[in-house]
Amino acid sequence: MIEKIIYKKPDSLTDVNFSYCPGCGHSTVHKIIAEVIDELALRENTIAVAPVGCAVFAYNFWDFDVTEAPHGRTPAVATAIKRVLPDRLVFSYQGDGDLASIGMAEIVHTANRGENITVIFINNTNYGMTGGQLAPTTLLNQKTTTSPFGRDAKNYGYPFKMLEFLSPLEGVKYLERVKVTDAASVVKTKNAIKKGFSYQLQNIGFSMIEVLSSCPANWRKEPLDSNKWIEEEISKVYPVGKIKDIK
Protein backbone atom coordinates (compact mmCIF):
# COMPACT_ATOMS: atom_id res chain seq x y z
CA MET A 1 0.00 0.00 0.00
CA ILE A 2 1.38 3.38 -0.98
CA GLU A 3 1.02 5.93 1.78
CA LYS A 4 -0.22 9.32 0.66
CA ILE A 5 2.06 12.18 1.60
CA ILE A 6 0.26 15.39 2.51
CA TYR A 7 2.27 18.60 2.30
CA LYS A 8 1.58 21.15 5.00
CA LYS A 9 2.39 24.71 4.03
CA PRO A 10 4.49 26.51 6.65
CA ASP A 11 2.50 29.05 8.63
CA SER A 12 5.16 31.62 7.78
CA LEU A 13 4.22 31.44 4.08
CA THR A 14 1.20 33.24 2.67
CA ASP A 15 -1.23 31.61 0.25
CA VAL A 16 0.21 33.61 -2.66
CA ASN A 17 1.77 31.39 -5.32
CA PHE A 18 5.46 31.99 -5.99
CA SER A 19 6.01 34.07 -9.10
CA TYR A 20 9.62 33.07 -9.69
CA CYS A 21 10.72 31.43 -12.93
CA PRO A 22 10.45 27.61 -13.09
CA GLY A 23 13.52 26.05 -11.51
CA CYS A 24 14.60 29.22 -9.71
CA GLY A 25 16.09 28.61 -6.28
CA HIS A 26 14.30 31.52 -4.60
CA SER A 27 11.11 29.54 -4.08
CA THR A 28 12.98 26.72 -2.34
CA VAL A 29 14.93 29.08 -0.09
CA HIS A 30 11.77 31.04 0.78
CA LYS A 31 10.12 27.81 1.90
CA ILE A 32 13.18 26.75 3.91
CA ILE A 33 13.28 30.07 5.76
CA ALA A 34 9.55 29.83 6.53
CA GLU A 35 9.99 26.31 7.92
CA VAL A 36 12.89 27.38 10.14
CA ILE A 37 10.98 30.34 11.54
CA ASP A 38 8.00 28.10 12.30
CA GLU A 39 10.22 25.53 14.02
CA LEU A 40 11.85 28.23 16.13
CA ALA A 41 8.41 29.71 16.92
CA LEU A 42 9.58 33.17 15.82
CA ARG A 43 6.91 34.16 13.33
CA GLU A 44 5.65 37.03 15.50
CA ASN A 45 9.17 38.13 16.34
CA THR A 46 10.84 38.20 12.90
CA ILE A 47 11.65 41.11 10.59
CA ALA A 48 13.12 40.47 7.15
CA VAL A 49 14.65 43.07 4.85
CA ALA A 50 14.00 42.41 1.17
CA PRO A 51 16.33 43.61 -1.61
CA VAL A 52 16.05 45.17 -5.00
CA GLY A 53 16.26 42.15 -7.27
CA CYS A 54 14.23 39.04 -8.06
CA ALA A 55 13.14 38.79 -4.42
CA VAL A 56 11.91 42.39 -4.32
CA PHE A 57 8.38 41.10 -3.66
CA ALA A 58 9.35 38.66 -0.90
CA TYR A 59 6.79 40.31 1.38
CA ASN A 60 4.07 38.79 -0.81
CA PHE A 61 5.19 35.30 0.13
CA TRP A 62 6.37 35.49 3.75
CA ASP A 63 3.70 35.84 6.39
CA PHE A 64 5.77 37.83 8.86
CA ASP A 65 7.08 41.39 8.94
CA VAL A 66 9.13 42.30 5.86
CA THR A 67 10.41 45.74 4.89
CA GLU A 68 12.11 47.00 1.73
CA ALA A 69 15.54 48.59 1.28
CA PRO A 70 17.11 50.66 -1.51
CA HIS A 71 19.36 48.70 -3.82
CA GLY A 72 22.36 47.36 -1.90
CA ARG A 73 21.44 49.05 1.36
CA THR A 74 19.78 45.98 2.85
CA PRO A 75 22.40 45.36 5.59
CA ALA A 76 22.24 49.02 6.67
CA VAL A 77 18.45 48.84 7.06
CA ALA A 78 18.72 45.51 8.90
CA THR A 79 21.35 47.02 11.21
CA ALA A 80 19.07 49.93 12.11
CA ILE A 81 16.12 47.65 12.84
CA LYS A 82 18.19 45.28 14.99
CA ARG A 83 19.69 48.11 17.02
CA VAL A 84 16.29 49.63 17.71
CA LEU A 85 14.60 46.25 18.28
CA PRO A 86 17.35 43.96 19.60
CA ASP A 87 14.84 41.32 20.72
CA ARG A 88 13.72 40.65 17.13
CA LEU A 89 15.15 38.12 14.70
CA VAL A 90 16.36 40.32 11.83
CA PHE A 91 17.70 38.99 8.55
CA SER A 92 18.47 40.41 5.14
CA TYR A 93 17.81 38.48 1.94
CA GLN A 94 20.07 39.53 -0.94
CA GLY A 95 21.19 38.53 -4.40
CA ASP A 96 24.74 38.76 -5.70
CA GLY A 97 24.18 42.06 -7.52
CA ASP A 98 22.52 43.62 -4.48
CA LEU A 99 25.13 42.36 -2.01
CA ALA A 100 28.41 41.90 -3.87
CA SER A 101 28.25 44.87 -6.22
CA ILE A 102 25.97 47.77 -5.41
CA GLY A 103 25.95 46.96 -1.70
CA MET A 104 29.59 45.95 -1.27
CA ALA A 105 30.39 48.78 1.15
CA GLU A 106 27.31 48.08 3.26
CA ILE A 107 27.96 44.34 3.67
CA VAL A 108 31.67 44.81 4.43
CA HIS A 109 31.16 47.41 7.16
CA THR A 110 28.14 45.60 8.60
CA ALA A 111 30.23 42.45 8.89
CA ASN A 112 33.26 44.31 10.24
CA ARG A 113 31.16 45.88 13.00
CA GLY A 114 29.90 42.42 13.93
CA GLU A 115 26.27 43.47 13.72
CA ASN A 116 24.08 40.77 15.26
CA ILE A 117 22.07 40.03 12.12
CA THR A 118 21.84 37.13 9.69
CA VAL A 119 22.34 37.56 5.95
CA ILE A 120 20.91 35.12 3.40
CA PHE A 121 22.99 35.58 0.24
CA ILE A 122 21.57 34.10 -2.99
CA ASN A 123 24.35 33.54 -5.53
CA ASN A 124 23.12 32.76 -9.05
CA THR A 125 26.15 34.35 -10.75
CA ASN A 126 24.24 37.11 -12.59
CA TYR A 127 21.81 40.01 -12.24
CA GLY A 128 18.66 37.91 -12.50
CA MET A 129 15.88 40.51 -12.46
CA THR A 130 17.30 42.98 -14.97
CA GLY A 131 18.21 40.63 -17.79
CA GLY A 132 21.14 38.46 -16.80
CA GLN A 133 24.02 40.94 -16.77
CA LEU A 134 27.51 40.12 -15.48
CA ALA A 135 27.80 40.21 -11.68
CA PRO A 136 30.86 40.08 -9.42
CA THR A 137 30.14 36.37 -8.92
CA THR A 138 29.92 35.47 -12.65
CA LEU A 139 32.26 32.59 -13.53
CA LEU A 140 35.19 32.93 -15.88
CA ASN A 141 34.06 32.28 -19.49
CA GLN A 142 30.40 32.50 -18.43
CA LYS A 143 28.35 34.37 -21.02
CA THR A 144 25.96 37.08 -19.86
CA THR A 145 24.13 39.89 -21.62
CA THR A 146 27.01 42.25 -20.82
CA SER A 147 29.77 39.68 -21.41
CA PRO A 148 28.45 37.94 -24.55
CA PHE A 149 31.84 36.35 -25.29
CA GLY A 150 32.27 35.15 -21.73
CA ARG A 151 33.86 36.70 -18.66
CA ASP A 152 37.61 37.14 -18.96
CA ALA A 153 39.80 38.18 -16.06
CA LYS A 154 41.61 40.93 -17.96
CA ASN A 155 38.47 42.96 -18.66
CA TYR A 156 36.17 41.95 -15.81
CA GLY A 157 38.35 40.57 -13.03
CA TYR A 158 37.88 37.24 -11.29
CA PRO A 159 34.74 35.78 -9.65
CA PHE A 160 34.36 37.38 -6.23
CA LYS A 161 34.19 34.97 -3.29
CA MET A 162 32.27 36.93 -0.67
CA LEU A 163 32.52 34.47 2.21
CA GLU A 164 36.27 34.04 1.85
CA PHE A 165 36.61 37.81 1.57
CA LEU A 166 34.67 38.46 4.79
CA SER A 167 36.15 35.58 6.78
CA PRO A 168 39.20 37.42 8.24
CA LEU A 169 37.03 40.16 9.77
CA GLU A 170 36.85 39.87 13.55
CA GLY A 171 33.18 40.80 13.67
CA VAL A 172 32.22 37.83 11.51
CA LYS A 173 31.20 34.75 13.50
CA TYR A 174 29.61 32.27 11.10
CA LEU A 175 29.89 31.80 7.34
CA GLU A 176 28.67 28.80 5.35
CA ARG A 177 28.07 28.11 1.67
CA VAL A 178 25.28 25.73 0.69
CA LYS A 179 23.17 24.84 -2.35
CA VAL A 180 19.63 23.68 -3.14
CA THR A 181 20.17 21.24 -6.00
CA ASP A 182 18.74 18.10 -4.35
CA ALA A 183 17.00 16.89 -1.20
CA ALA A 184 20.21 16.35 0.77
CA SER A 185 21.52 19.82 -0.02
CA VAL A 186 18.17 21.36 0.93
CA VAL A 187 18.45 19.75 4.37
CA LYS A 188 21.98 21.15 4.78
CA THR A 189 20.78 24.58 3.72
CA LYS A 190 17.99 24.45 6.28
CA ASN A 191 20.45 23.48 9.03
CA ALA A 192 22.79 26.32 8.07
CA ILE A 193 20.03 28.92 8.12
CA LYS A 194 18.76 27.61 11.44
CA LYS A 195 22.28 27.87 12.87
CA GLY A 196 22.62 31.44 11.59
CA PHE A 197 19.34 32.40 13.23
CA SER A 198 20.28 30.57 16.45
CA TYR A 199 23.60 32.41 16.69
CA GLN A 200 21.75 35.69 16.37
CA LEU A 201 19.34 34.69 19.14
CA GLN A 202 22.39 33.98 21.32
CA ASN A 203 23.80 37.45 20.50
CA ILE A 204 26.93 35.90 19.01
CA GLY A 205 27.22 38.34 16.11
CA PHE A 206 27.26 38.55 12.33
CA SER A 207 26.50 35.48 10.24
CA MET A 208 25.98 34.92 6.52
CA ILE A 209 24.76 31.90 4.59
CA GLU A 210 25.50 31.87 0.87
CA VAL A 211 23.14 29.73 -1.23
CA LEU A 212 24.21 28.61 -4.70
CA SER A 213 20.98 28.98 -6.64
CA SER A 214 19.96 28.26 -10.21
CA CYS A 215 18.75 30.86 -12.73
CA PRO A 216 17.49 28.78 -15.68
CA ALA A 217 15.91 31.74 -17.50
CA ASN A 218 19.11 33.75 -17.77
CA TRP A 219 21.45 30.77 -17.99
CA ARG A 220 19.40 29.51 -20.95
CA LYS A 221 19.25 26.05 -19.41
CA GLU A 222 16.52 23.66 -18.35
CA PRO A 223 16.03 23.44 -14.55
CA LEU A 224 17.69 20.01 -14.23
CA ASP A 225 20.61 21.13 -16.38
CA SER A 226 20.91 24.26 -14.22
CA ASN A 227 21.25 22.17 -11.06
CA LYS A 228 23.80 19.98 -12.83
CA TRP A 229 25.79 23.10 -13.78
CA ILE A 230 25.85 24.16 -10.12
CA GLU A 231 27.17 20.73 -9.15
CA GLU A 232 29.77 20.44 -11.91
CA GLU A 233 30.95 24.02 -12.45
CA ILE A 234 29.77 26.60 -9.91
CA SER A 235 30.65 24.44 -6.90
CA LYS A 236 34.24 24.23 -8.15
CA VAL A 237 34.60 28.00 -7.94
CA TYR A 238 32.43 28.36 -4.83
CA PRO A 239 32.97 25.19 -2.76
CA VAL A 240 30.14 24.40 -0.36
CA GLY A 241 30.83 24.01 3.32
CA LYS A 242 31.68 26.04 6.40
CA ILE A 243 34.06 28.91 5.81
CA LYS A 244 34.05 30.17 9.40
CA ASP A 245 32.36 29.08 12.60
CA ILE A 246 33.61 30.53 15.88
CA LYS A 247 31.85 27.83 17.91
Distances (CA, A) of 5 to 2, 8, 38, 42: 9, 10, 20, 26
What is the assigned CATH class of domain 25-245?
alpha beta
Query: Using one digit for the tens of pLDDT, what is the confidence trace for 155-191?
Result: 999 999 999 999 999 999 999 999 999 999 999 999 9
Query: Using one digit for the tens of pLDDT, what is the confidence trace for 27-76?
Result: 999 999 999 999 999 999 999 999 999 999 999 999 999 999 999 999 99
Query: Using one digit for the tens of pLDDT, what is the confidence trace for 60-69?
Result: 999 999 999 9
Strand partners, 95: 122
Residue 216 contacts residue 223 (beta carbons within 8 Å):
yes
DSSP label of 53:
S
4 vs 177: CA distance, rounded Å: 34
Could you state, in order of their start, the residue ranges of all structural domains in the chain? 25-245
Nearest to 238 by CA among 164, 185, 188: 164
